[in-house]
Structure 1
Amino acid sequence: MTSSPPRTHVDLAVIGAGPLGAATARHAAEAGARVVVIGPDEPADFADHEGVWAGHYDQGRLCHVLEVPLVTSLLATRSTRRFDDLIGRTGINFLTPTHSVTVMPEAASGVAASTWFDADVLAGNAADLGVAVDRLTPDELAAAYPQLSFEPGHLGLRQRDAFILNPRALVAAELRAAVAAGAELVRDEAVARELVDGQVRVRTARSGTWTADKVVVATGCATNATGLLDRPLQTLTFGATVTLVEVSGPDAVPDMPTMMMLKVRDGDYLFGGIVMAPVQYPDGRWYLKVSGNSLLANPLDTREEIAAWVRTGGRAEDVEETMAVLRDLLPGVELGPARTRPCTVCATPHDRPYIDWADERTVVVVEGERGAMAADEIGRLASGLALTGAWTDTLPAENFRALWAPEGWSTAAAIGRAS
């Protein structure tokens, strides 16, 4: 009779307990693997924060198909189809129905062209996925949402069956399902990963060491900053600012859609980003969430840079920019106090996730900016790759190949080269 493996040995260790790590652990555990998922809990405060920070520490993400590239929308669609089952089995609801409306000028003269706001591309992607969208002329857009005041000459592309996804709650549901399937959740930070005798050894800051047949590194924006990989990835990491503006409640702006908005006036770019319908935050209050203009102003690469950014609490200048956008958009609506929150986002050069081997026993997975809504499917793909050792999905693996960084790579340097 063979002896049982020690508690510290598992089939799969997942480093990172955010959307991608939680989903990877869930799918692996439900496939019958022995799984440990390792990641710290959310810090209580960011004023004196040290270390990395997770972008999912928030209450609202737009979940829709009006995205580029098409593969992003496909991954999100696959995830969405499993959400009812995940909610039903865990009892954690992380979805609120909303209209998703992408607002953009009819003519982009004087503004850099972007497929993010190309109505034909977005509508074509939705059609490829069989999702109905409405094209709204400026007059139709104004008539559909009379409580909102849009910039003249701006049209809309609307998906009626979209959602606001609560990323904190999504992670809680994925982890609850993973634990129910036998995964062990370790609330600690992984500080080292090494190959030893044909296995992978993962050491944590406080909880000890695990060995695993395979490891998935799912540490999001902090991937390069953790030092857990032998070489850095080509990922662009930024400190983003979320501005929250208090309103009286969910009906402060009746039937308000959630918008990706490109605002242009007389050929001048004024705003590009997201304006979310009222969302309730853990303090019990309701806020309009706005994020956009300052994204590229804060490139981050190291653990120390991320921590320093988080301690700022976000870019204070975004408050007045946000208020200007909302005063134009919501005339007559009483807007309460505004405050900022820090966030981190990362992007890949091809705007697609990385799901690839870092070495013969380590898979790395990075979301490529749209992680929450597509996380369940990205985690399923990462789990399958790690457990079977092969790519078996109908989507070509080449879509998700990791791009490794040359010597001297940094977000700031990459942005400088691009400009």
Structure 2
Amino acid sequence: MQTNHHEVVVVGAGPIGSATARHLAEQGVDVAVIGPEEPASPEGHAGTWAGYYDEGRLCHVLEVPLMTSMLTMRSLRRFDALRTRTGIGFTTPTHSVTVLPENLGPGSAATWFDRRVLAANARDLGVVVHELDEEGLRAAYPDLRVEPGHVALVQPDAYILNPRALVRAQLAAARQDGAHVVRDEVNTTETRGGRVRLTGRTGATWTADQVVLATGAATNMTGLLARPLALSAFGATVVLAEVEDPGSLDMPTMMMLKYRDGARLYGGIVMAPRPYPDGRWYLKLAGTSLLDTPLETAEQTAAWVRSGGNRADIPEAAAVLRDLLPHHEFTTFRTRPCLVASTPGDRPYIDRVDEHTVLAVEAERGAMSADEIGRLAAMLARGPWTDTIPHEVFQAEWAEPV
């Protein structure tokens, strides 16, 4: 059985893993990135599933905490060079419009949809955003019908990011600089004689001086850590509404918090239509059952993926679209399973597990900030932390003490 040695092996070939491999390869490091291909379909699925199996994510700075937006801005500055180098397009311009009640009371929604905080974060990063009152919102987007008393923040230079295409571009650039891309799934690691020995599901083995674990929401399920991270994973649902004539639908991409008579009716993304691999165009909404399916094991995750998502989210999504876009009729809806995760501080983990292992995990908004997270993980795998952001910001928290 052949054993291959590399200076660094990156476990996980999603947005963060592929970015880490690219940054290492650019520095002349002998790096391999190991991860499976996307499964053909959710039905009958039994292995790893990734949250980036999608055609559209909002890439903007109207986020909390500020660190998320800062990492995104750093990533964005390198997108043009990555597109030019690989010839792979992975962004589409859009307006990012955050719609919310003008007077939002206390509660969890106030943390994520505090327009004063969101606007202040954008100013700190030098990004222009416009604040629209109710009348201004109607005038700027006449096709939209929002609830009375709702206002908006607009970032006009935002993007829809295609995470699948981003990964293709990162891996293409990494290959150009000599990185090895291996389509397998690492099942075990063991440290021997100052090296880490990794074994894949196929039986192949590799050794490395350093390992970077970029395994996203599935990190605690891989069995590659001696103790679990403080990381909660959930089975999320994406609702896709088919759009027969996308040219007739001129709309921004929205983060929408919808209230009526003091009751919350919806909170999530409504994305402008995008083409999908089946040749159809879909408008994407986040399902409202986001936190209803906690996942702790690989078996639970596989069962969730096979379910195809929560079809009970479709009527709520349809109601949102009827109110929001009353001049358009949507008759065909589909669901897709997705994985999301969260950390206690809502920040990524970029930290050392031990002298041979680095962790790089951001499992909910990782696509838009992945390039910078990968750069920081590559830095840590090669030597000391030298970034202007203190490393303490990204230190891992553990569910169990040492």
Q: Could you state the TM-score of these two structures normalised by the residue count of structure 2? A: 0.98
Aligned position for 1:376:
371
Aligned position for 2:323:
328
The 8 Å contact of residues 351 and 368 in structure 1, kept in 2 or not, is answered as no
Please tell me the residue identity of whatever aligns with 1:212. A
The 8 Å contact of residues 56 and 168 in structure 1, kept in 2 or not, is answered as yes
Where does structure 1 lack aligned partners over 5 or more consecutive residues? 1-5, 408-419
Aligned position for 1:316:
311
The 8 Å contact of residues 15 and 52 in structure 2, kept in 1 or not, is answered as yes
Matched ranges for 1:16-415 at <5 A: 16-109=12-105, 112-206=108-202, 208-254=204-250, 256-388=251-383, 390-406=384-400
The 8 Å contact of residues 51 and 363 in structure 2, kept in 1 or not, is answered as no
Aligned counterparts of 1:357 and 1:114: Cα–Cα separation in 2: 34
How many angstroms does 1:113 deviate by? Answer: 4.5
Where does structure 2 lack aligned partners over 5 or more consecutive residues? none
How many angstroms does 1:51 deviate by? Answer: 2.3
The 8 Å contact of residues 287 and 314 in structure 2, kept in 1 or not, is answered as no
Q: Where has structure 1 moved over 6 Å in runs of 4 or more?
A: none
Please tell me the residue identity of whatever aligns with 1:293. T
Measured on the aligned residues, the alpha-carbon RMSD in Å equals 1.2
Secondary structure, aligned partner of 1:278: strand
Q: Could you state the TM-score of these two structures normalised by the residue count of structure 1? A: 0.94
Q: 1:55 to 1:122 in 2, by over 3 A?
A: same
Residues matched between the structures, number: 400
Aligned counterparts of 1:186 and 1:141: Cα–Cα separation in 2: 49
Please tell me the residue identity of whatever aligns with 1:167. P
How many angstroms does 1:7 deviate by? Answer: 6.9
The 8 Å contact of residues 193 and 203 in structure 1, kept in 2 or not, is answered as yes
Please tell me the residue identity of whatever aligns with 2:286. S
Aligned counterparts of 1:170 and 1:116: Cα–Cα separation in 2: 26
Aligned counterparts of 2:46 and 2:242: Cα–Cα separation in 1: 28
Secondary structure, aligned partner of 1:295: coil
Secondary structure, aligned partner of 2:350: strand
Secondary structure, aligned partner of 1:251: helix
Aligned counterparts of 1:404 and 1:312: Cα–Cα separation in 2: 30
How many angstroms does 1:303 deviate by? Answer: 0.3
The 8 Å contact of residues 217 and 363 in structure 2, kept in 1 or not, is answered as no
Secondary structure, aligned partner of 2:151: strand
The 8 Å contact of residues 190 and 198 in structure 2, kept in 1 or not, is answered as yes
How many angstroms does 1:52 deviate by? Answer: 2.5
Q: 1:286 to 1:113 in 2, by over 3 A?
A: closer
Aligned counterparts of 1:371 and 1:327: Cα–Cα separation in 2: 31
Aligned counterparts of 2:245 and 2:367: Cα–Cα separation in 1: 25
Segment of structure 1 superposing worse, 76-85 or 286-295? 286-295
How many angstroms does 1:114 deviate by? Answer: 2.3
Could you give the per-residue CA deviations for residues 336-356 of structure 1, whole angstroms, max 9, x where no partner exists? 300100000111100000000
How many angstroms does 1:111 deviate by? Answer: 5.7
